[in-house]
Amino acid sequence: MLKLYNTLTKKKEEFAPLHKGKVAIYTCGPTVYDFAHIGNLRAYTASDVLRRYLEYLGYEVRQIKNITDVGHLTADDIAQADTGEDKMAKAARREKKTPEEIARFYENAFRRDEEAMNILPAHYFPRATAHIPQMIKIIETLIEKGHAYEKNGNVFYDVTSFPGYGKLSGNTLDNLKVGARLEEHPDKKHPWDFALWLKAPEEHILKYDSPWGVGYPGWHIECSAMSVEYLGDTLDIHTGGEDHIFPHHEAEIAQSEGATGKKFANFWFHNRFLLVDGEKMSKSKGNFYILKDITEKGFDPMHLRLFYLSSHYRKQADFSWPALEQAKTNYNRIAEWRGKLEDLSKSRQTDNSNRTLNVRVRYFESAMGDDLNTPLALSHLHELITETNKQISENSLTAEKAREILAVFEKMNTVFGLRFPEKEKEIPEEIKHLAEERLKARNNKNFQEADDLRQKIEESGFEIEDIEKGYKIRKK
């Protein structure tokens, strides 16, 4: 069972998918004009843990993560985010490249960062630039249904036409504060209307033909177009960071529900921000980190992943180097423990231990089932480590029990998603020596001796595989 906090209803609700056994997740992906920062990576790790836990529960998950490579304008601190220069075009100027080169470069960098963080790849990463016709089609439908209007080649969503506007963020038209930063466009009927399509000035690089002339899409429309294309009218879960609640997700609801007449997403999952030393990350303060800054200081991406897991996704987390150092210590503790269990489980001892481990699994599931409480789940894991380490030091942990605990941990770890290095480096000298002798015997066509040496190596708990230029040894 999984209870999830739903931003739409503002309470924890029991999760149930629309179609039995299957879950459709749409995750707002990166705007590929720069490297992802560690705040963005917190958001993608949070939705990864969500997906992993749903898979742990046996659901077949389909996750779509869009790549924003057009239409996200620089002034996204202004309420409706439909003014300023296109972020892609600006980066292209900065780096003296084409917007396409910028997009492909940072998209690849993003995919590498996700891989390094052990974030499961989405089943598809659709690009906004490849879905302009789908966006145009929805805009046409919205115009037909009276939710949008065109003026001078610009198309705006008429927020007064959609009674549900504000249901996600609480920013209903009555509540929207006059003081909020809002840049009024002369063609808008109402100040809170937002752009679906904007007329492109002559010098604008990323522009497309449309029924309203040459222009480019607003930022919000791409997600409505790509989610329906790959997941259908109604999503089980839509994810993103807290800054997306308004205006981005509020606009997505107005567009999608306005066009289809159906509920857009059953669950809205939002992570809160990552701060740095108690402050909001910003380039000007110099407290803005990307993954490379972390690894250059000698940390592994898994230390960052464990740092994320150590706080609840719905609480602000404060990044600091000592906090990352602590996560590293905790990671090493888990890795060392896991290594000891692996070694022990190879020995031949057996016993009839009772299965108290089931209790641990229940604790883990009740923590994760309560709105993905990873810090609590981790504290149960650390208790298990303390208990097992004591048994190991007292020599009272048998191979069978070690195997059992290891299996429980590996199952939990399908959700934590921590990666551990292979034990390749720990091949003892004597085994390496036997392997060298065996290679010599083989080269001299002394196959009986080679076979005997292989047997010796295997009896010591290692496997040897012949490859083109020699051999590979690994622990069994």
> Which residues make up the interface to Zn ion (CB under 5 A)?
28, 223
Q: Do 257 and 164 contact (CB within 8 A), yes or no? A: yes
Q: Please give the Cα distance from 227 to 26 (Å, whole number).
A: 7
Q: Which residues pair with 25 in a beta bridge?
A: 63, 237
Q: Pull the structure tokens for residue 461.
A: 């708990």
Q: Which of 72/401 has CB closer to Zn ion? A: 72
Q: Please give the Cα distance from 448 to 150 (Å, whole number).
A: 84
Helix, coil or strand: residue 452: helix
How far is C-alpha 235 from the geometric centre of its chain's CA atoms? 17
From the list 14-22, 38-46, 105-113, 116-124, the region that binds ligand AMP by CB under 6 A is: 38-46
Judged by beta carbon distances under 5 to 8 A according to partner kind, the member of ligand AMP, Zn ion, none in contact with residue 233 is: none
Q: Which of 244/442 has CB closer to ligand AMP? A: 244
Q: Which of 28/54 has CB closer to Zn ion? A: 28
Q: Which of 150/250 has CB closer to ligand AMP? A: 250
80 binds ligand AMP (CB under 6 A): no
Q: Please give the Cα distance from 110 to 113 (Å, whole number).
A: 5
247 binds ligand AMP (CB under 6 A): no
Q: Please give the Cα distance from 15 to 439 (Å, whole number).
A: 58
Q: Which residue do the tokens 């306005």 mark?
A: 258
Q: Please give the Cα distance from 367 to 208 (Å, whole number).
A: 49
Q: What is the number of helices (H) and of strands (E) in the chain?
A: 14, 15
- The binder of ligand AMP chosen from 240, 258, 369, 417 (CB under 6 A): 240
Closest separation in Å from C-beta 292 to Zn ion: 26
Helix, coil or strand: residue 68: strand
43 binds ligand AMP (CB under 6 A): yes
Q: Using alpha carbons only, give the angle 297, 113, 224 rounded to the nearest 5 degrees.
A: 140
Closest separation in Å from C-beta 293 to ligand AMP: 15
40 binds ligand AMP (CB under 6 A): yes
Judged by beta carbon distances under 5 to 8 A according to partner kind, the member of Zn ion, ligand AMP, none in contact with residue 241 is: ligand AMP
243 binds ligand AMP (CB under 6 A): yes
Q: Which of 100/243 has CB closer to ligand AMP? A: 243
Q: Which of 233/243 has CB closer to ligand AMP? A: 243
Distances (CA, A) of 113 to 17, 269, 419: 30, 22, 14
From the list 89-97, 201-209, 238-246, 420-428, the region that binds ligand AMP by CB under 6 A is: 238-246
Q: Which of 200/317 has CB closer to ligand AMP? A: 317
Closest separation in Å from C-beta 221 to ligand AMP: 15
User: Which of 422, 437, 429, 427 shows the shortest CA–CA distance to 461?
Assistant: 427
Helix, coil or strand: residue 335: helix
Distances (CA, A) of 474 to 311, 392, 409: 36, 24, 22
Q: In the complex, which residue's CB is closest to ligand AMP?
A: 241
42 binds ligand AMP (CB under 6 A): yes
Q: Please give the Cα distance from 103 to 111 (Å, whole number).
A: 12
99 binds ligand AMP (CB under 6 A): no
Q: What is the DSSP string of 252-282?
A: HHHHHHHHHSS--EEEEEEEPPEEETTEE--
Task: Write out the binding residues for ligand AMP, residues 272-291 only, by CB under 6 A.
Answer: 273-274, 281
Q: Please give the Cα distance from 72 to 476 (Å, whole number).
A: 51
User: Which of 134, 265, 144 shows the shortest CA–CA distance to 210?
Assistant: 134
Q: Which of 244/380 has CB closer to ligand AMP? A: 244
Closest separation in Å from C-beta 275 to ligand AMP: 7
From the list 112-120, 235-243, 301-309, 467-475, the region that binds ligand AMP by CB under 6 A is: 235-243
Judged by beta carbon distances under 5 to 8 A according to partner kind, the member of ligand AMP, Zn ion, none in contact with residue 223 is: Zn ion
From the list 137-145, 268-276, 368-376, 459-467, the region that binds ligand AMP by CB under 6 A is: 268-276
Closest separation in Å from C-beta 230 to ligand AMP: 18
Q: Do 392 and 379 contact (CB within 8 A), yes or no? A: no
387 binds ligand AMP (CB under 6 A): no
Q: Which of 274/294 has CB closer to ligand AMP? A: 274
Judged by beta carbon distances under 5 to 8 A according to partner kind, the member of Zn ion, ligand AMP, none in contact with residue 40 is: ligand AMP
Q: In b/e form, how buried is each residue of 16-50, taking b as 16+ CB within 10 angstroms? A: ebeeeeebbbbbbbbbbbbbbbbbbbbbbbbbbbb
Residues interacting with ligand AMP, by CB under 6 A?
28, 30-31, 39-40, 42-43, 240-241, 243-244, 271, 273-274, 281
